[in-house]
Amino acid sequence: MYDYLVVGAGLFGAVFAEQAHKAGKSVLVIDRRDHIAGNVYCEDVEGIKVHKYGAHIFHTNDKKVWQYIQKFSEFNRFTNSPVANYKGELYSLPFNMYTFNKMWGVVTPDEAAAKIEEQKDDFMVEMKGKYADEEWAKADDMSGFQAHNLEEQAISLVGRDIYEKLVKGYTEKQWGRKCTELPSFIIKRLPVRLTFDNNYFNALYQGIPVESYTGMVANMLDGVEVRTGVDFLKDEGGKDHWKSLAKKIVYTGAIDEYFGYSLGNLEYRSVRFENELLDTPSYQGNAAVNYTDAETPWTRIIEHKWFTFGKDDEGNDLPKTVISREYSSEWKLGDEPYYPVNDERNAGLFAKYKELAASDTDIIFGGRLGEYKYYDMDQVIARALEVSEQELGGSY
Ligand code: FAD
């Protein structure tokens, strides 16, 4: 009998398995996909490491996590600097001096700040006219203004030009609804940088594993027994069979599915990818280009080779390229679950499943699906290390 059966060979499962193995425990890892690494899996296409379940850029301020993953792969110096394409006009992201220079021709930070303030002031005059009977509109200043929808919120933060060209269309495609019909709380802040800095994440540590994410996870699982293509819930007799193989289960699949959706199903937002292999060395010259107009049906295009600077493992230029167009899509049961939906219904339902789970002390639910929580990679690793420490009684 194994000490642990880990269901799911994604980051959470791999970190737990690595720690348990190192602590001298016997571990079996299974995954229903035909590969390891879960959603960070990369597939080799003509020497290009294609991020199959969406582009993944590792970034963290957590030194402990950064030092931990260095044990399993070297990381390159990739820095995420997406470009926005608005009807053929290109802008730097996140909003910074390059963006403002292109938008308005301003050169200094003072000029940029003044332009944004001017646009915000114009908008407030408009709002005072529109909502003249609201209490805040009677005051001399604007401090009491409460946006009625996402559009008003965004313009009040960055002014109309940036909103119209860089926020509106993209956000509407992402949510499948007009910005005027979306709640304002979705956008709390829209950071504006008065520096020439396209580094999107601005984290202390950032990069892409040189051996690919799949290679990094394979190194984590070195010495651990792994079986892919097997489903804990369906194969070889299902749950009872697998549970009989180990003293304890670490389950990183969906918690509602584990319980047969007995209380109803949790909801997700989904993304659809359309991949194309092109016989050209460069399609767009950057890893990520966001299409911020409403007419283009995709939200962004990822060109995977730029995560490794267009080079293969030996440093040779790759002759071809793979692009992925990303479309926001409605999710239905059976689709790949991507982003949990943080609303009351889903939070309440998850709390009930968590109660059910608490009655079985031989199973630990972890990871994005087990905990119904959006985790960045560094967060899921930190969480798996924390759970491992609690479970194994020390850090390894
Ligand atoms: P997963 O990787 O999903 O692993 C769970 C595994 O369990 C899967 O392989 C699944 O097949 C398996 N499984 C489920 N049920 C069963 C079953 N019944 N039997 C057997 N196996 C089962 N994070 C960043 O830090 N940077 C990024 O740029 C970034 N980009 C992202 C882009 C997208 C589109 C998405 C959705 C997420 C992104 N993330 C990013 C987050 C990142 O993907 C997650 O942090 C990470 O994948 C979570 O790992 P996990 O182990 O919890 O889940």
227-242 pLDDT, tens digit per residue, is 999 999 999 989 999 9
- Say if ligand 1 is within 6 A of residue 288 CB: no
Q: Enter the tokens of residue 26.
A: 């016997």
For the stretch 199-221, pLDDT in tens is 999 899 999 999 999 999 999 99
Most confident of 136-140, 255-259, 335-339: 255-259
Alpha-carbon distance of 31 to 13, in angstroms, equals 10
For the stretch 123-179, pLDDT in tens is 999 999 999 889 888 887 778 889 999 999 999 999 999 999 999 999 999 988 999
Query: How high does pLDDT run on average in the chain?
Result: 95
Between 329 and 154, where is the model more confident?
154
- Which atom of ligand 1 is nearest the CA belonging to 80? 28
E-strand ranges in 41-87 read: 42-45, 48-51, 58-60, 83-86
pLDDT at 333: 86
Kindly state the percentage of the chain with pLDDT values over 70: 100
Alpha-carbon distance of 360 to 345, in angstroms, equals 24
Alpha-carbon distance of 199 to 202, in angstroms, equals 6
At residue 285, does pLDDT exceed 80? yes
Site of tokens 């080079």: 311
Pocket test for ligand 1, best of 39, 378, 380 (most atoms within 8 A of CB): 39
pLDDT at 109: 98
Kindly state the percentage of the chain with pLDDT values over 90: 87
Measure CA of the first residue to CA of the last residue in the chain; give whole Å: 23
Residue 82 — very low, low, confident or very high, per pLDDT cuts 50/70/90?
very high
pLDDT at 287: 98
* Sign of the alpha-carbon dihedral angle for 192, 195, 199, 202: negative
pTM exceeds cut of 0.85: yes
Vertex 262, ends 254 and 379: CA angle to 5°?
A: 20
Write out the catalytic residue numbers: 189, 193, 269, 300, 326, 374, 376
Give the mean model confidence (pLDDT) for residues 333-341. 88
- Say if ligand 1 is within 6 A of residue 38 CB: yes
Q: Enter the tokens of residue 360.
A: 């079985």
Pairing of strands 321-329, 205-207: unpaired
Alpha-carbon distance of 308 to 44, in angstroms, equals 13
Pocket test for ligand 1, best of 78, 230, 252 (most atoms within 8 A of CB): 252
Give the mean model confidence (pLDDT) for residues 91-100. 98
Secondary structure letter of residue 38 according to DSSP: G
Give the mean model confidence (pLDDT) for residues 30-37. 98
- Say if ligand 1 is within 6 A of residue 197 CB: no
